[in-house]
Every structure is written in C-alpha cells, then in structure tokens.
Chain A
Amino acid sequence: MMEMTQTISSNDCLMQLFEERREIEDYQKGVPRWCTGCGDNAILTAVQRLCRDEGLMPEKTVFVSGIGCSSRLPHYMNTYGFHGIHGRALPVAEGVKMARPDLTVFVNTGDGDCCSIGAAHWIHAVRYNMDLTMMLHDNQIYGLTKMQASPTSPIGTKSNTTPRGSYLEALNPLTVTLGISNVSFVAQVVDWIPEVLYQVISAAYHHKGFSFVRIIQRCPEWMPKLMDPWLHDPDRVLLLHHDDGIQISSSLARTYKRTEEHDPANMNRAREIASEYDPIPVGILYRNPNVACYEDLRHDPRLRTNTMIRTGIEAEFDKFTVWPEKE
C-alpha cells in the first residue's frame, strides 16, 4: 500500500515523498545477542513496533547509544545508528539533532552510562530540551563489565565491587530529572508490561522536546531475583492513567488493580509519585508541551546560500580592513 506524506526540513527543499508501508521485519537487523530473558529484548520489540506504527523512514531515523548492554540496541535496528563511547550518547545525539532537525533521533542508554559516567550530560540534556526520545534501560547493575554496583543499585547490593553489599542509597533518576529546569517529559515503565511500555515510548516519541523514559529492566544474569517481588505481585505496581496520559485497557485493568488518575501537568504530584519505590509507579509522570526546544531557539530560518555566506564574510572582513591609500 502506498501513502503520500510530506516532509519539510531545513535540509530538504520542499519534497513530496512516497513512503512504503513497512513491517516490523523491515526495522529488524541481525539477531540480538543479549542474554535470554534480558529486558533489552522487550525494549527493542517496543521500538521496532513504534517505528512500524509511525511509518518512520529508516534512513531518516537514528538510534544513538553509549556503552553497555543497553547501547547495543542500535545494532539491531535497520536504521542509522551511532554506538559511541561510554556516557556520551546524549551530546552526540544533540549534535545530530542540531545539525539535522529533520532526523528522528532516539537515545538508548543504561544506568551506568547515563546516571554515572554521563550524569553531567543527562542534566544538561534535560535543560536543552531538544526533541529527542531517551530510553534509560535501568537494570540497576553494570552488566557488560560483569556485575558491579551502579548508582541505581539498591543499598546492600552484593556485587563484584561491593562484595559486602553496596554502601549508598540508590539514586532516583525520576526525582533528579524532575528537579532540572526545562524538564518537559518524564515517564517510568517496567519491562514486564509490554502494553504500557509501548504506550509510554509512543507518547515519548510524540512529545516535542526531550522525553525521558526510565525503563526498569530485569537482568537475568546478574540480578535474577531483584524484581521478582514486584513481578509476582501486581498490587506492587501503581498504574498512572489520565486522558492526557496513558489509558489502561480492560485486560490490563483485570491484572493491575492499583491505579491512580494522574494529570501529567501536575508537577507537584509528579514529584511525590517519583519518590515512591513501592509500589513502582508506571506511566507518564510529567509532561509540558510548552517548553522551547534548544534546536528551535538556535534555528536560523534563512536559507544558507553561498551568497549569504559571502556577504556575511565580506562584512566581517570590512570591520578589520585597512584600505590602501586612495590615489
């Protein structure tokens, strides 16, 4: 089936493109090499489904990641991808978006990548509020380097670097993010409720601005039983729903009875909810569609022609020119 869409960007002149209908398989690449039961698989499935449902053009879509298990995700997407260095996925993604606002940019990062080595970039990414969709794959442990405590590991976590249990309270990514100026979208999901995972990632994608989605994700290799109490007891999950948030289907409502109608515009309540560990709040905590995007603030609507550049440079030269003596 062919359908016609129109895209306009600073880089394309006005073009009409005929877009093909794509299936999930069209967005898949290779066989994921994550462990069996790893939550990353659920996230990958959700984003591939999102790409199909939104009809994203693979060549206009970029997945940017850092280092860690989470950051292998771009390799399994048949789109453009950028698998960079530890902690720096966000500034790379910001550079991509600044240079090319016409591209759809996703960021996949982990709790070590984002909340530890790249924490400075996380704070400033919220502040820049560029139109990026960020997924924090939070398994509360360093996986790829073989089990060291991460900033989000619960206190007492026994790991290879904390054999007697970790010493510090876990960092709460939600309260941190909600405390940063310009925050415009904060959500939390768990990998074992695919329906909500998909809905939230979809809402994040549709949000114009920096969408921060923390995904609580199981690590069957290093933290196999960590989330079991929540997994086995639906009442320890608090589903947030609202006309402006996500809606709970009847099938979901049969399992998850603990719900709260929460308006994502309500920052004070969002901060209270963010502080909850048990039950785990799931859904959209905060959304403000009116925060300006940095790339829009910096965007120059003029067409950058050679004549324009030349005129500008000559004017700058004029400022510093000593002219020869007139005859």
Chain B
Amino acid sequence: MTSTNGRNATSSNGNGNVHNRLRTTISEHIVEIISDSGEGAQKCGQSFGSIVARTGIGVWTVEIIPAEIRPPARSVAGASGNRIRIGTKRMTNGGNETDLVVAFNEQVLLGRVRTGELKHGCTILLESMWRDNPDPGVSRSYVDTVEHLVAAGYRVYEIPMEAECLKHVSDARKGKNMFALGMLCSIFGLDLQIGRDQIAMTFSKKSAQVIEKNIALLEDGYNWADANLALKYEIPAERSSEAQIVVNGNTALALGVLASGMEICAMYPITPATSASHYLSDAFEKVGGIVHQAEDEIAACAFAIGASYAGKCTVTITSGPGYSLKQEAIGLAVMGEIPLVVVNVMRGGPSTGQPTKTEQGDLMTTIFGSHGDAPKVVIAPGTIEECFYSVITARKIAETFNMVVVILSDANLATSQQPFTRPDFDESWLAPPIDQSAVPAGAKPYDWDDRTGLARRFIPGQPGGMHTLTGLAHDQNSHVAYDPEINQKGMRARSLKLAALQKTLVPPTVFGPPTGDLLVIGWGSTRGAIEEAVESLRSEGKTVSSLNLTFIQPLQPGIKEIMSGFKKVITIENNWSDDPGDEMIDENNRRYSALAMLLRSRFLVDIDCWSECRGTPLKPNTVRRVIMEKLG
C-alpha cells in the first residue's frame, strides 16, 4: 500500500479503502475553496493552510471576502473562501492563477472565472446537487455552466458533497467544508492525523460530539476522493527544524502590539483593519492591556494621544478613511512631540473605495498628511513576519524620538497567512517603566538639542516638570509664542529628528546582483510577488534585481548608490499612476506612482514606474510582464 514516491498516502486512513496510485510530483499548486457566505469555506481554507504548514510545505493563504456580510445565496459577486498557494519552496505571495478550485455552487465559481482568477482549464471540484434542483432555473443554470466550462476546457468533477455530508449531519451547510478539507488532504497526500488534530484545535471550544462529527466528515471526504478522484499530487517538502508561527498580517500586528510592551490600543471599527483589534481584544487583557473602542476615529486617535502623553505609548489601528479623520490629531502629536504608533491597514481609496480590497494608495497622505509641515516616520512591513516586528520597532522609534510612527500594512498582508520563525521573546522589546523622577531644576520641556532636535520628555507626575503642552506654536518652555525665530526653531527641531533617525539606519539589501539592466523598487506587501518575478527572470538570464523599502520616511541611506548600478530603475506599486501611453499624458502632466514620485524628487534620477490598482495583490506573472516590457 505504498505509493512510488515513498509517501504512504493512506496510512492514517485506517478503513481499508486503499488504492495504489501514482502521485504526480509537483513543485507548487494554487488551491481555492469558495462558497456562499456562511458555508465555511474560509474555515476550510484556513485549516487546509495550517495542515499544509504542519507538513513543512510552503504556504501563503489569501482570504476571498465578499463586500457584504450575507450576500444573496448563489450570487456571482458573493464568493467567500480562501486561496491557498502551496509549494516546495517558501511562499512569499499569493502567486498567479488558481490550479484547483472546490466550489459549493456554480455561481460563486463563475464569479472567480470572470475576474480572471482561475487558470484557464484548471481543475474544478463542483457540488453536484444543483443539477437536480426542483427550481428549473437553478438546475438549468448549473447544467449550462458546467457545459460551458467543460467546452472551454476546464476539467470539471461533479461531486455529490451534499449527499455525502447528509450521512453525518442534518444540515450539510454545516459540514461540507470539512468534507472538502478531507478531499484536499487526499488529493495532496497529507497525513490525515494532522487533519484530525487540526479539527480538534479549530473546534476546541465546541463539544466532543461536534469534533467527532467533523472528523467523520473529514475522513469521508478523504475516502471519497481517494476512491473516486484520479487527482493525486505530491509536493516534496521538508519540515522546518524550528518552530514556526502561522498567522495573518493583522494577527501578526496584534502580536507585535503585545510584544512591544504597549498597554493601550484605541480604535474604531473599520475594514480591513478590525480583525487586528478583534484578536487584540481577546489577547491584550491577558497581559494587562486594554483595547478601547472609541466613539469615532478622531476620538480613538485623541484617546491614544492622551494616554501617550501620560506616559504610556499607545497605538491606534485604522484604515484609509479612518486615517483621514485622524490627521488633525496626528498633527497635534507631531506638534506636541508625543510618541504615537498609528497602524494604517490600507484598502482601496479614495473615499469609501474598496473596503475589502488591497491597495497601496496612502503613502503620500501618511508622509505629507496633516496640514503644515508635520514630519512623521513611515514604515511598511513587506512580509507577515515584518508585520510583527514593525510594531516593536515603531514603539521604540516613537518613544526615542518623541514622534508619530505610521505603519503601512494593507489588505493583502492583513488577510494572508505565511509561516515565520517563532519569535524568541526579548525583554528589551518591552516599554521601559514610566519615568517619574523629579525634573532637574531649570530643565525645559522642549530643550531641543541643536544638532538632533531631540528633547527630553516630561511626563505628568514628574515633580518640577509642570508645563502645558500645546498644539500652538511654542517656545522651549511650551509657552505659546508667535515670534518668527521661535517658530522657525520649533519647526527645525521637529524636522531634524527625522534626519537624526535616518543617520541610524543601514542601507537596504538588494535582492539579486548589485548591477544589471533593471532595478525594480517596491515597498510593503508587493515584496513577495516582485522578488518571485525577478528571481524567475534572472534564472532565464535577465539581469534584473529588486529592492524592497521598509523605511519610507526617512529613507534608508545608500539608495542612490544602489540605483547607480543599474541602467534603468522602475518602481512597481499597487496604486494609481498615469499610463504614459494615454493620449492626454505627457511628461508635463504624467502622474507617477507614490514611491516613484518620492524617489524622483529625492534623488533627481529619472525613475520610471508601473502600477495598477485592481484591488487584488500583484501577481508575479504581471510583474514579469511589466519587467519584460521595460527591458524591451
């Protein structure tokens, strides 16, 4: 009962339903499971991702989220579920088009076909119950769709999921997802025991009976696929020798809040940032922290500023529209030199835009936002792991420089899962205790250092430090002052701190050789897709390298020197830029994407750009195409 590649595909099955089939070895695959909202496809996908991660196979999962909570059943726009990219190597992004999709009805499937997310001719495992639906409209729609897809070259497998699940549960909507999970475990030859363990963990708060039923469904799906499907794949992988954490970017950010030593998070619900606060609301209190859900975004920011002013650096978590509302308060923190961490999980803008979709549209507003000159630090994690560490870094910078630090994540990182090395807890991450020692006689609250702009900070409770912090222009004693020299001095000090921070940074690392025809520069969540494209093109002989910037404001040193090693430089971003091919566009009016604009003005280098804002993460193949075009 062993397969030729040495993996015992059914050893944990235990019911004697054994097949000797050859498994096809593949290096990677993209799997989707989609359903109407509420049918559990997301849970199935997340569980599959976790099971895969446990076997050592590289994985990146992406949530597929409809805009509504309960869109109408069987609607094209209502697809809810998960996309799981698995492979031998470490996965750094969601990849290109889907190879295999499990769909609970043909309408949500059509939605995915129409958005171009499925590879042409891919494998489809489709719930077959609709064929016999008493409503002739439904059955006709099903039959037509299947015929159309088959004719178009898709490999459609019709599967009686409902009928199989009804053997175990009275409502198949509450079990189909685990049946599907079983099928996927069979198809990819995964150890069924890991699946059982995963179910026990997923449903750990439910009764033993619920766990048993779900395990029965899992096993049934596994056996059914084993007996009836000729799909048998093997993805060679080795389990990591170190412990790994599997979370999405928002949970990683929330874990970072815990690890940063901060004690208060003030927030207001907003997609796609809120899941970070959901997790934090449960976990934070276990370490004595508080999530305060304020009455609005402005109050959340002002509350955070008040708590920070009182000595406890605080974080506020939001997305674009909330960030816009916080801008005036952020300016106050800049003016008063109050440390503050702001997380902006970007979504599509402007206005309400695309709440559940990803975009990198807020770079300029975070750097230049709030009226007047309001210098603040902007950093952008490029991986799930960096989401975790970025919060610790942000809190340290905020308190060291008495500045606002904005962390720019996005919906892509927020909803994607990728394993990373379990962090080795370090006490130095935590915030130092509040200094309540008496202020030395004669010390001033804004005793700006002439070279760095830095000043010590007086915290309420410190004897002798009494002063009134103000958002008005002020002198070193925090007295309101409109004297021209004093205003100039305060502006200089607040700005100089960015330079002082910049002097502590090290040059970024080039991905690939330091010279070549083209350097691709990106920031934040596009890192994985860009690096994958660059790597594959290099393996084909193209001399292209890439650079991912995590510090956007201030920029790390050495970027100009890095750029000088390449004939051309281009930024690739997930935001808007004009198409130079458009009739109206010329060099007098072309609007460059955000990072390109910044780098052009900073370095006086003719940096090109390409960007799109389709609401989806960049695909490596798209990046490849763009690079090939630019290489000419």
Residues of A with Cβ closer than 8 Å to B?
11-12, 30, 58-60, 62-64, 74-75, 77-85, 88, 90-100, 102-103, 120-121, 123-124, 298, 300, 302, 304, 306, 308-310, 312-317, 320-325
Contacts and interface: CB of A to CB of B under 8 A. Distances in A.
Given A62-B310, A317-B245, A322-B53, 8 more contacts: A60-B460, A85-B331, A94-B306, A95-B308, A313-B287, A316-B258, A322-B50, A322-B245
Interface string B302-330: 11111111111010000000000000110
Nearest to B472: A83
A322 B460 contact: no
A300 B239 contact: no
B558 interface: no
A280 to B, nearest CB: 31
A82 B470 CA distance: 6
Given A59-B461, A82-B468, A88-B329, A322 B241 contact: no
B434 A95 contact: no
Interface residue tally of chain B, by bracket? 35 or more
Given A88-B329, A322-B419, A62 B460 contact: yes
Contacts of A91: 294-295, 298-300, 302-303, 306
B251 to A, nearest CB: 7
A77 B302 CA distance: 22
A100 B261 contact: no
B397 interface: no
A323 to B, nearest CB: 5
B332 A120 contact: no
A108 B311 CA distance: 21
B258 A312 contact: yes
Interface of B: 50, 53-54, 56, 239-247, 251, 255, 258-259, 261, 263-264, 266, 283, 285-288, 290, 292, 294-296, 298-300, 302-312, 314, 328-329, 331-332, 419, 422-423, 425, 427, 430, 434, 436, 458, 460-472, 479-480
Q: Main SS of chain B's interface residues?
A: mixed
B294 to A, nearest CB: 6
Given A11-B436, A11-B461, A88-B329, A75 B311 contact: no
A322 B427 contact: no
Contacts of B305: 84, 92, 95
Contact of A302 (B288, B309, B332, B458): B288
Contact of A84 (B239, B283, B471): B471
Which residue, of B259, B285, B311, B460, has the highest number of chain A Cβ atoms within 10 A?
A: B460
Which 7 pairs show the lowest CB-CB distances between chains A and B? A95-B306, A81-B468, A312-B287, A91-B302, A99-B307, A92-B306, A95-B307
A59 B463 contact: yes
B263 A99 contact: yes
Contacts of B298: 88, 91
Contacts of B312: 99-100
27 contacts: A30-B479, A59-B464, A59-B465, A75-B479, A81-B466, A81-B467, A85-B331, A85-B471, A91-B294, A93-B306, A95-B306, A95-B309, A96-B307, A99-B264, A99-B307, A124-B294, A302-B288, A308-B288, A309-B258, A316-B258, A316-B286, A320-B251, A321-B246, A322-B53, A322-B244, A323-B243, A324-B241
B10 to A, nearest CB: 20
Contacts of B331: 85
A82 B246 contact: no
Contacts of A321: 243-246, 422
Contacts of B307: 95-96, 98-99
Given A124-B295, A321-B244, A321-B245, A316 B283 contact: yes
B465 to A, nearest CB: 7
B295 A121 contact: yes
B314 A95 contact: yes
A80 B53 CA distance: 53
B332 A85 contact: yes
A30 B290 CA distance: 38
Given A59-B463, A100-B311, A314 B425 contact: yes
B461 A304 contact: no
A97 to B, nearest CB: 8
Count chain A CB atoms within 10 A of each CB in B56, B287, B422 and give the residue with the most: B287
A99 B310 contact: yes
Contacts of A85: 302, 328-329, 331-332, 471
A96 to B, nearest CB: 4
Contact of B245 (A12, A103, A309, A320): A320
Contact of A59 (B54, B239, B460): B460
Q: Which of B243, B263, B310 has the most CB of A within 10 A?
A: B310
B285 A300 contact: yes
A120 B295 CA distance: 7
Given A317-B423, A324-B239, A82 B245 contact: no
Contact of B303 (A79, A92, A302, A308): A92
B535 to A, nearest CB: 25
A320 B286 contact: no
A315 B471 CA distance: 42
Contacts of B300: 91
Nearest to A323: B243
Contacts of A312: 258, 283, 286-287
B425 A95 contact: no
Nearest to B51: A322
A70 to B, nearest CB: 14
Most B Cβ at <10 Å: residue of A121, A306, A316, A324: A316
Contacts of B461: 11, 59-60, 100, 102-103
Nearest to B332: A85
Contacts of B287: 304, 308-309, 312-313
